[in-house]
Structure 1
Amino acid sequence: MLAMLIGLTIGLGLPIQTGLNSRLRRSVGSPFLASLASFTLGTLFLAVVTLLAEHQLGFSPNVFTTAPAWIWLGGLFGVIYLTGNILLFPKLGSVQTVIMPVLGQILMGLLVDNFGWFGASVARLTVSRVLGAGLVLGGVLITVALNPWLENHHHPVTTARGSHKGWWRLVGVFTGMLSASQTAVNGHLGLVLGSSLQAALTSFLMGMLILLVIVLATRTPFKLTQPDGRPNPWWMWVGGALGALYVLGNVVLVQLVGTGLAVVIVLVGLMAGSLLIDQFGWLQAPRHPVTLVQLGGLLVMIIGVAVIRLL
C-alpha cells in the first residue's frame, strides 16, 4: 500500500511539473534554460532537505572506486529523456510523444526486472506480469489516443508527417527505455550510498551540470520576460522541487517493488494527473473535460497494475 501511495503521488505530480516548466519556458524563452533552472532549483531543494535530514551532503570517496561506473548515469539518462521529448513533439505530435516513450518505459522495466540489470532484484517474466504491462499500455492508448481517433475518424499516428517518422518513433521508445533505466540506476545508487536523499541529490546535480554545459555550448542567452504582459506567477519556479520529489520517490519505490512495477504505478499516477489538469484547467492550461473513454482507459491501467501486483 505504501508503494502504491508513493508511486501514484509522484506520478500525479509529474504532469503538474511539466505544466510549471512549460510556463517557465515561456518566460525564459528556451527549453534548455527552463530545464536548467528547474534542475538547479531542484538540486538546491534536495540539498537543503538532505542537510536538514542527514546533517551532511557528501559521501565516502571510496564509492567512486568500488561501485560500478553506471551508477552515476541517472542524471544523464534524465536529461536525454527530457531533451528527447522536446525533439519528438514537432516530429510525432502530442499523442505519439506520449505513447512511444511509455512503450519504452514498460519494456525496459520488464527487462530490468527479468535480467537483474543495474543491480535490480530478479523478478522473472510471467504471464501475469506481461498481461498486466499490456493492460497498462492499452490503458495509455485508450486514454491518450482513442478520443482523437473517434473524433477525427482516422488513426492519430497520421498526425506525424515525413518519411523518417519511423526513426523518430524508435527514438521515442529509446528515450522511454532510458527513463526506466534512470529509475533503476537511481534506485541502486540509493542502496550504494545508503541514502535515498543522497541518490536523488546526486542524480539532480549531474543533470544540472549536463544542462549547464548544453546551455553554455549553445550560447543560450539568459533572459526573463513577461510573455503575458503581467508579472510572472511565483509557482512557475516550483517545478524543480516537484521534479526532485519525483526522483526521490522513484529511488524509494524501486527499493520497495522493483523497477517494472515502479514504472507502471507511476504511469497510472501520471495519466490521472494529466486528466485532472485537463478537467480543471490548472496552471493556466486550457480546459478539456475528461470523457468516459479516458476514465475507462485509466481504469484499464489500474487493473493492469493490480494484475502485476496481485497475481
Structure 2
Amino acid sequence: MAILLGILMGFGVAIQTVINTRLRIYVGSPLLASTVSFTVGSVLLALALFILGEPIFPEFHRVVASPWWFWIGGLLGAFWISANILVFQQLGAVQTAIFPIFGQVVMGVMIDHFGWFNVLTKPVTKVQLLGVVLVLTGIVIAVAWQSIQQLLFKRERISHMDEPPAMGAWKWRLFALIGGAMIASQSAINTQLSHLLDSSVQASFISFFVGMVALLLILLIKERQVSGLKLAMGKPWWIWIGGVLGAGFVVMSVILVPWIGVGQMLVLILLGLLLGSFCVDSWGWFGVTRKPIRAFQWVGMIILVSGVFLIRLT
C-alpha cells in the first residue's frame, strides 16, 4: 500500500502539471492558472482542518517567535507552480520532470550537508556524490544524447524532434533546475513549520495560503483582472482539479513520512512522476502533443533513477 501511494503521489504531480498548463491555455495567464490551483488547494486543506477539529491559523505568539523564513515555503511553491506551467509548454512532460529532479537532488544534498534550514547535518558521502553524477549522466543521455550523436557523427537533424532552439531550450532547463531547488528548500522549510505548529496539515495549509495570497496580489497588480476565468467556463471539468491533486499530495505525504520515511517516499514519488510524464508524452493525454519516448531516453531514465536511489537510500 505504501509503494502504491508513493507512486500515485508522483503520478499525480505529473498530471497536475499538464492540467494546470491546460488551464493556463484557457484562461490566458499562468499567474491566474497558478492562483486558481493554490486557491482550490487552500480551500480543501482548510476543510480538512475543520473536519479534524484543528485551528486553521496558528496562534499569534508562535508567528512572532519564529524565524521569518518559516513562513515563505508557500512563496517558493507559488513560484514553482507558475514556472512549471511555462516550462511544460516549452519542454514537454518528460523534461519538465527530470530537470527539476536534478535541482531537487543537488539542493537536497546541500541542505543535508550544510544543515541549512535547521535540519540535522548529514555530511555528503562518496556514494551520494556518485549518485549525483549518475543523475546528471542520466539527464544528459535522456535529453542531449541525440544532439551529441549529431555533433560527433555530423548527422542531419531529425525534423520530428520538435525541440526548441538550443539556447532557448537550455534557458528553460536552467529555469526548471532552479524550480527543483526551490521545491527542496520548501520541503525543508515546511518541515520546520510543521514542528513549530505541531500539525502537518496546518503547516501545509499555511504554505498553500501564503502562496495563494502572494499570487493573488501579483495577479491584481500586474494584470488587474481575473476575467480570464470566464473564458474557461464550459471547458473540460478536469482543468479545475490541479489544486485537488496538490492538496492530495500533501495529505498523502503526511501519511507516508511516518510510515516509510522521507527518503523512500521521494524515490517512489520519482518513479510515479517519470511514469506519469511518460504516459502524458507518449499517449498525448489531456490534449498534449504526442512525443514517443525513444530507447536512449529510457536508458537515461534508468541511470537517473539509480542515482536517486544511491542518494536517498544511503
Quickly name the TM-score band, shorter chain normalised: 0.7 to 0.9
Q: Which residue of 2 aligns with 1:104?
A: 103
Tell me whether 1:176 sits opposite 2:161 in the alignment. Answer: no
Q: Which runs of 5+ in 2 are unaligned?
A: none
Indicate conservation of the 8 Å contact 2:30/2:86, yes or no.
no
Residue 277 of structure 1 aligns with an amino acid whose one-letter code is V
Whole-Å separation in 1 of the counterparts to 2:231 and 2:166: 32
Figure out how many residues of one structure are paired with residues of the other and give that number: 304
Q: Which residue of 2 aligns with 1:159?
A: 165
Instruction: Kindly report which structure 2 residues correspond to 1:229-248, keeping only aligned pairs within 5 A, or say none.
Output: 231-248=234-251
Whole-Å separation in 2 of the counterparts to 1:44 and 1:183: 21
| Cα shift at 1:89 | 7.2
Indicate conservation of the 8 Å contact 2:14/2:97, yes or no.
no
Whole-Å separation in 1 of the counterparts to 2:140 and 2:180: 15
- Alpha-carbon distance change, 158 to 60 in structure 1, aligned in 2, over 3 angstroms: closer
| Cα shift at 1:35 | 0.8
Indicate conservation of the 8 Å contact 1:279/1:289, yes or no.
yes
Whole-Å separation in 1 of the counterparts to 2:50 and 2:97: 36
Query: Which of residues 260, 267, 272 is equivalent to 1:269?
Result: 272
Indicate conservation of the 8 Å contact 2:97/2:277, yes or no.
no
- Alpha-carbon distance change, 173 to 277 in structure 1, aligned in 2, over 3 angstroms: closer
| Cα shift at 1:181 | 0.6
Indicate conservation of the 8 Å contact 1:186/1:251, yes or no.
no
- Alpha-carbon distance change, 71 to 154 in structure 1, aligned in 2, over 3 angstroms: farther
**Normalized against structure 1, the TM-score is what?**
0.81
Indicate conservation of the 8 Å contact 1:183/1:254, yes or no.
no
| Cα shift at 1:111 | 0.7
**What does the per-residue CA deviation read over 1:185-205, in whole Å, with 9 as the maximum and x for residues that have no partner?**
112211221111111111000
Indicate conservation of the 8 Å contact 1:33/1:222, yes or no.
no
Tell me whether 1:29 sits opposite 2:28 in the alignment. Answer: yes
Whole-Å separation in 1 of the counterparts to 2:5 and 2:147: 31
Residue 138 of structure 2 aligns with an amino acid whose one-letter code is G
Query: Which of residues 188, 194, 207 is equivalent to 2:211?
Result: 207
- Alpha-carbon distance change, 88 to 209 in structure 1, aligned in 2, over 3 angstroms: same
Tell me whether 1:306 sits opposite 2:314 in the alignment. Answer: no
Q: Which residue of 1 aligns with 2:229?
A: 224
| Cα shift at 1:240 | 0.6
Residue 117 of structure 1 aligns with an amino acid whose one-letter code is W
- Alpha-carbon distance change, 306 to 187 in structure 1, aligned in 2, over 3 angstroms: same
Identity %: 39
Residue 286 of structure 1 aligns with an amino acid whose one-letter code is T
SS at match of 1:232: coil
- Alpha-carbon distance change, 174 to 262 in structure 1, aligned in 2, over 3 angstroms: farther
Residue 74 of structure 1 aligns with an amino acid whose one-letter code is G
Q: Which residue of 2 aligns with 1:286?
A: 289
Residue 196 of structure 2 aligns with an amino acid whose one-letter code is V
Alignment RMSD: 3.5
Q: Which runs of 5+ in 1 are unaligned?
A: none
**What does the per-residue CA deviation read over 1:199-238, in whole Å, with 9 as the maximum and x for residues that have no partner?**
11110000000010011001144233568xx941111111
| Cα shift at 1:309 | 4.3
| Cα shift at 1:184 | 1.0
Q: Say which is worse superposed, 13-22 or 131-140, in terms of deviation.
A: 131-140
- Alpha-carbon distance change, 122 to 72 in structure 1, aligned in 2, over 3 angstroms: same
Indicate conservation of the 8 Å contact 1:72/1:203, yes or no.
yes
Whole-Å separation in 2 of the counterparts to 1:128 and 1:117: 21
Whole-Å separation in 2 of the counterparts to 1:309 and 1:83: 27
Q: Which residue of 1 aligns with 2:134?
A: 135
Q: Which residue of 1 aligns with 2:45?
A: 46
| Cα shift at 1:131 | 1.5
Q: Which residue of 2 aligns with 1:193?
A: 197
SS at match of 2:187: helix
Indicate conservation of the 8 Å contact 1:105/1:263, yes or no.
no
Q: Which residue of 2 aligns with 1:119?
A: 118
| Cα shift at 1:261 | 7.2
